[in-house]
């Protein structure tokens, strides 16, 4: 079973603000150079979609309601949803804040009617959280994810093994898991446009062009997928990025922005109960060329200054010749934050951050920050 919430961020805003309901709501970074996180289905009719520039979204939907992303709040709602999911399957693999695979195989004796079972889950999410989930049930992960998407919003699709091949044969090749833009272009150059066309291709021919990927392509195109639901996969990463109103020129500016990002990521890691073993920075240049650099630490951390120090180190190692348009920091290789205080230094830091986080929790994320990050307008 695959569950995916409809227009997740926008739906939460519509739930919380009655005056937004049935209206085009666009959630994202509101500056001119911001990006759309998601759009309500009303806004999608104006051609507004995730990852579109906010400037373009404003052009397409001038009367829309534009709301700044409140990631913290959405994570809280996400946790509530996952609590409900947990009542419906023994093992759950979260894919993002609003989406999960649930392994219901082996429950055939308990569940007579899968449609009813999915409806029960949808009803609980609606009654208890006030949001709508789309559900897909199928013999495997690939088909279940596809199914939850087929009748969105408010979808519920069950794919039977016998019908799978027929159901997917006319879908575009991009529907296959793992087929990104590049592979799609390659496939099209060889005359493959639909899933069905790949399903009947020769394995040898595909191997010639796609190497290792060939076998998986053929399997998926035939509706087969033997991936397990991976329950112990935690949230994979926590990160923030910022696109600047004006491209950054000098090192002092960059370091200041990295500090602000480190503070954000540290706070999110700590409040969500994680520590990150690997720190990754992302730099997008004025030309849109984008690089990422990572470093794995000896020990996982969620302290702002460790994140900052690593980020600056990574930044200094990059040969930078262009202005910078976007910076991001992500913590990867997350573990649950249960580390012991081996060193006095750590205990001190922990108590400092405990105090900071209490303040932030009570008065909002902006209540306290590093002196370095203050400027006259604050």
- The rounded Cα 152 to chain-centroid distance in angstroms is 18
Give CA–CA dist 116/175, Å, rounded: 27
Kindly state whether residue 98 participates in binding ligand TTP, applying the rule CB under 6 A: yes
DSSP 159: -
Phi, then psi, of 158 in degrees rounded to 5: -115, 125
Residue closer to ligand TTP by CB (options 52, 213) is: 52
Give CA–CA dist 114/92, Å, rounded: 17
Residues of span 252-271 touching ligand TTP by CB under 6 A: none
Kindly state whether residue 50 participates in binding ligand TTP, applying the rule CB under 6 A: yes
Angle at 337 between CA 345 and CA 265, to 5 degrees: 85
Residue closer to ligand TTP by CB (options 96, 341) is: 96
The nearest distance, CB 78 to ligand TTP, in angstroms, is: 9
Residue count (the chain): 378
Give the interface segment with ligand TTP, choosing from 56-64, 95-103, 239-247, 287-295 (CB under 6 A): 95-103
DSSP 270: H
The nearest distance, CB 101 to Mg ion, in angstroms, is: 14
How far, CA to CA in Å, does 274 sit from each of 327, 332, 339, 373?
Answer: 22, 10, 10, 25
Residues 6+ apart with CB under 8 A from 189: none
Strand ordering across the sheet containing 25-28 = 36-39, 25-28, 65-68
Beta bridge partners of 239: 330
Answer with the entry of ligand TTP, Mg ion, none that 295 interacts with (C-beta below 5 to 8 A by kind).
none
Indicate the helix (H) or strand (E) that contains 217.
helix 213-221
Residues 6+ apart with CB under 8 A from 215: 203, 206, 207
- Using an 8 Å Cβ cutoff, are 24 and 43 in contact? yes
Among 1, 20, 26, 38, binds ligand TTP (CB under 6 A): 38
Annotated active-site positions, please? 99
What is the four-CA torsion angle of 242, 248, 252, 254, rounded to 10 degrees? Answer: 30
Answer with the entry of Mg ion, ligand TTP, none that 50 interacts with (C-beta below 5 to 8 A by kind).
ligand TTP
Answer with the entry of ligand TTP, Mg ion, none that 334 interacts with (C-beta below 5 to 8 A by kind).
none
Kindly state whether residue 303 participates in binding ligand TTP, applying the rule CB under 6 A: no
Answer with the entry of ligand TTP, Mg ion, none that 153 interacts with (C-beta below 5 to 8 A by kind).
ligand TTP
Kindly state whether residue 9 participates in binding ligand TTP, applying the rule CB under 6 A: yes
Residue closer to ligand TTP by CB (options 5, 314) is: 5
Kindly state whether residue 37 participates in binding ligand TTP, applying the rule CB under 6 A: yes
Region of residue 130 (left: phi > 0; alpha: psi -120 to 50; beta: else) = left
Among 2, 8, 138, 141, binds ligand TTP (CB under 6 A): 8
Number of residues that bind ligand TTP (CB under 6 A): 16
Among 1, 5, 26, 248, binds ligand TTP (CB under 6 A): 5
Indicate the helix (H) or strand (E) that contains 282.
strand 274-285
Kindly state whether residue 6 participates in binding ligand TTP, applying the rule CB under 6 A: yes
* Site mask for ligand TTP (CB under 6 A), range 149-188, x = bound: ---xx-----------------------------------
Give CA–CA dist 311/329, Å, rounded: 7
Q: What does the binding site for Mg ion look like in residue numbers (CB under 5 A)?
A: 4-5, 8, 98
Give the interface segment with ligand TTP, choosing from 93-101, 136-144, 172-180, 204-212 (CB under 6 A): 93-101
Give the interface segment with ligand TTP, choosing from 4-12, 135-143, 174-182, 243-251 (CB under 6 A): 4-12
Site for ligand TTP, rule CB under 6 A = 4-9, 37-38, 50-51, 96-99, 152-153
């Amino acid at each position: 079973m695959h569950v995916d919430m409809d227009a997740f961020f926008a739906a939460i805003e519509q739930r919380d603000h009655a005056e937004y309901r049935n209206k085009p709501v666009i959630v994202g970074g509101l500056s001119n150079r911001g990006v759309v996180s998601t759009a309500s289905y009303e806004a999608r009719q104006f051609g507004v979609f995730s990852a579109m520039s906010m400037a373009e979204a404003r052009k397409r939907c001038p009367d829309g309601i534009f709301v700044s992303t409140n990631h913290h709040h959405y994570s809280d709602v996400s946790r509530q949803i996952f609590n409900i999911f947990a009542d419906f399957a023994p093992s759950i693999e979260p894919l993002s804040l609003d989406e999960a695979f649930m392994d219901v195989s082996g429950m055939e004796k308990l569940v007579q009617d899968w449609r009813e079972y999915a409806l029960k889950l949808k009803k609980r999410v609606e009654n208890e959280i006030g949001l709508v989930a789309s559900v897909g049930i199928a013999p495997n992960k690939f088909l279940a994810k596809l199914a939850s998407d087929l009748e969105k919003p408010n979808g519920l699709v069950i794919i039977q093994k016998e019908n799978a091949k027929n159901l997917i044969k006319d879908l575009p090749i991009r529907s296959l898991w793992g087929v990104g833009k590049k592979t799609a272009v390659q496939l099209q150059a060889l005359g493959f446009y639909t899933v069905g066309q790949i399903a009947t291709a020769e394995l040898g021919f595909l191997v010639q062009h796609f190497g290792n990927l060939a076998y998986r392509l053929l399997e998926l195109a035939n509706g087969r997928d033997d991936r397990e639901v991976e329950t112990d996969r935690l949230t994979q990463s926590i990160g923030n990025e910022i696109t600047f109103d004006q491209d950054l020129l000098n090192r002092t500016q960059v370091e200041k922005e990295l500090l602000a990002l480190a503070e954000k990521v540290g706070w999110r890691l700590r409040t969500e109960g994680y520590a990150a073993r690997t720190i990754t920075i992302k730099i997008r240049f004025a030309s849109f060329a984008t690089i990422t650099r990572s470093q794995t630490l000896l020990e996982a951390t969620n302290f702002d200054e460790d994140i900052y120090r690593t980020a600056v180190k990574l930044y200094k190692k990059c040969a930078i010749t262009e202005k910078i348009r976007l910076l991001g920091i992500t913590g990867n290789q997350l573990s649950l934050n249960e580390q012991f205080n081996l060193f006095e230094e750590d205990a001190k830091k922990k108590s400092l951050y405990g105090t900071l986080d209490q303040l932030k929790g009570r008065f909002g994320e902006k209540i306290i920050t590093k002196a370095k990050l203050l400027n006259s307008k604050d």
